[in-house]
Every structure is written in structure tokens, then in C-alpha cells.
Amino acid sequence: MRNGMLTCAIALGLLLGIGFPAYQWMHTSVNRARVVHRSPLRPIFLVPGSSASQNRFNALVFALNRQTTGHSYVKLTVATDGTVKQSGRVAPRDNQPYIVVAFANNQDGYPNIKRQARWFDLAFTAMAKKYHFDRFSAIGHSNGGLVLTLFLEKYMNQADYSMQRLMTLGTPYNLEESQPQNRTQMLTDMVRLRQNLPPNLTVYSVAGSENYTSDGIVPLASVAAGKYVFQDQVAHYTMITLSGSNAQHSDLPQNQQTLDLIKHDLLLRNQRPLRQ
């Protein structure tokens, strides 16, 4: 009996001694394979605000392509049933295409913004499956920034994808509220879910200042409320206020300072090799 128990103990020890190193080797090999086969494609997604179509960023993209090496321009519109309609394609050897995601139901309001975040996830998943990328950046104008934030908090799987940079333009994190102490339900929900944000993310929050208190539509304090969502939660959070010509809400995507920020902080930085 004792000999049998001793034999079992020896066999178990040998099994653990062999199995654990094998598991470690397999785990390390899988991680290395993920790094080696990491896709060079790093698209930039653009999400328009309420009442805007897939053409909202035409002026921005055309201006950028005049000032930088031309990038592909893909436009998607997500229907209310989740189907995605695409126009344009990613050109061969273009590692930074622009992909606009618009919504057939582009109405305002928090309930619809939550639906748009879910629809964006459907479009994002379809593009990831089609083009096999694992890193990306994004730009959201107005409520488009809210859609992207909710997508990060509720839908994106950080084990499979990495958002490197997020730029929001005139995004009202506290909706129309101009008093920071009066938090809307949306801001309260985003703060509650902020721990789901990617910790390595860099965020640029761009605000327009037409009269020192708003960009003509969105209160400056509402844009600034984004700090309650991102600050001390992501790697870098920076708020930038634009003034002067083309600093009104609808002009922010075409503002030359906005274009410069995109060129230097999304395009040029992302062209540099990333540390593994």
C-alpha cells in the first residue's frame, strides 16, 4: 500500500515537474508570436457628431492628404439593424487609412449615443476582421467623442486591440450643462466605468472658444468635464483650447490647429516604430 502511494506521489511530482515548464514555454511562445505577427496596419477611425453623415470629415481628410502622404479614405454607415454599408477601400501598403463610421440614426440624446456606441462596435469588429489590425487611433467630433468613449468603456476587448490615441473635438462630456457640479447621468455613468479605459491610452481633448465660455454650441465647462473621465486613468490626458478664426463648434474639424495636432500627434508619431 505504502509502495503504491509512494509510486503515485513520484509520478505526480514528475508530471508537475514536466507540465509546468511546458505550460510556461507555450505561454511565452504564444505571446512572442503575437508580437512578431503584430499587424502594421494602424487605422484612424473618425466618428461624426449628431445629425452628421459619413461626409462630415471630407474637408479634414482632403486637407490632411494635401499636407501629408495620401491616406486611403473609407466611409461606413451603420443601419439601425446593425448592417454596415461601406464605400472606399484601403489601398495596398497604406498602413494608416482613415475610416469614418457614421450612423443612419444620427439623432442626439444619451439613449441614442449609447446605441451608436454599440453600432460603432459592430462596424469596428467588421473592419478588424476584414483588415486584421490590432492597433488604432480615433477622432470624434462632438457626440462622436462620446460614442468612442463609451465604446472603450463598454465594448473594446483590450486583450485583442489597443487604441493608441484618442482625439475629441468639442465633445460635451456633461452635455449642455455648464456647471461642473451638476453632473448629468451620462457623465456619472462614464466616471463609474472609467476603470475600463485602456491605461496606456493618450487622450487629446480639443475645445473651441468663441466667447470664452463656449464654442457657440458646447459649453467649455462641458468639454473640460472630460477630465473626470480620463485624468489619472489613462497614460496621458491633455485639454487644448482653440480660439480665433474657425474655433466655432462646426469648424473645429477643419481648424488648421486641429490639422496640425492630427499630423504631429496621430500621424507622425504613429509612423515611428513602437517599443514591444
Please check whether residues 74 and 171 belong to one and the same domain. yes
Please check whether residues 13 and 120 belong to one and the same domain. no
276 within domain boundaries: no
Please check whether residues 151 and 21 belong to one and the same domain. no
Give the model's pLDDT for residue 28: 45
99 within domain boundaries: yes
Give the model's pLDDT for residue 4: 56
Please check whether residues 3 and 74 belong to one and the same domain. no
Please check whether residues 99 and 7 belong to one and the same domain. no
Please check whether residues 257 and 134 belong to one and the same domain. yes
Please check whether residues 118 and 216 belong to one and the same domain. yes
CA atoms within 13 A on the CB side of 236: 11
Helices (H), 37-179: 58-67, 110-131, 143-154
Please check whether residues 46 and 27 belong to one and the same domain. no
Residues 6+ apart with CB under 8 A from 175: 110, 184, 186, 187, 222
Q: How far apart are the first and last CA of the chain?
A: 54
84 within domain boundaries: yes
Please check whether residues 183 and 158 belong to one and the same domain. yes
Q: What residues make up the domain containing 20?
A: 1-37
CA distances from 174 to 16, 110, 111, 184, 189 (A): 55, 11, 14, 6, 11
Q: Name residue 86's beta-bridge partners.
A: 76
Sort strands 44-47 and 98-103 into parallel, antiparallel or unpaired.
parallel
Q: How far is C-alpha 15 from the chain's CA centre? A: 45
**Cα–Cα distance, 137 to 68 (Å, whole number):** 17
169 within domain boundaries: yes
Give the model's pLDDT for residue 103: 98
pTM over 0.75: yes
Amino acid letter, 64? L
Taking the CB of residue 235, how many other CB atoms lie within 10 A of it? 12
Provide the domain count of the chain.
2
**What mean pLDDT is reported for the chain?**
87
Would you call 272 exposed, middle or buried from its count of C-beta atoms within 10 A (0-12, 13-18, 19+)? exposed
Give the model's pLDDT for residue 33: 40
Q: For the domain that residue 50 is a member of, what is the CATH number? A: 3.40.50.1820
Say if CB 145 and CB 116 are below 8 A apart.
Answer: no
Give the model's pLDDT for residue 38: 66
Please check whether residues 27 and 115 belong to one and the same domain. no
Give the model's pLDDT for residue 268: 64
Give the model's pLDDT for residue 210: 80
CA distances from 192 to 82, 204, 215, 273 (A): 27, 21, 27, 34
Give the model's pLDDT for residue 36: 37
Give the model's pLDDT for residue 32: 39
Please check whether residues 64 and 11 belong to one and the same domain. no
pLDDT tens, 182-206?
999 999 999 999 999 999 999 999 9
pLDDT in 10s for each residue of the chain, 276 residues: 555 555 555 555 555 555 545 445 444 444 434 433 467 899 999 999 999 999 999 999 999 999 888 899 999 999 999 999 999 999 998 999 999 999 999 999 999 999 999 999 999 999 999 999 999 999 999 999 999 999 999 999 988 999 999 999 999 999 999 998 999 999 999 999 999 999 999 999 999 988 889 999 999 999 999 999 999 999 999 999 998 888 999 999 999 999 999 999 998 665 543 333
Please check whether residues 165 and 50 belong to one and the same domain. yes
Q: How far is C-alpha 18 from the chain's CA centre? A: 43
Give the model's pLDDT for residue 170: 97
Taking the CB of residue 89, how many other CB atoms lie within 10 A of it? 13
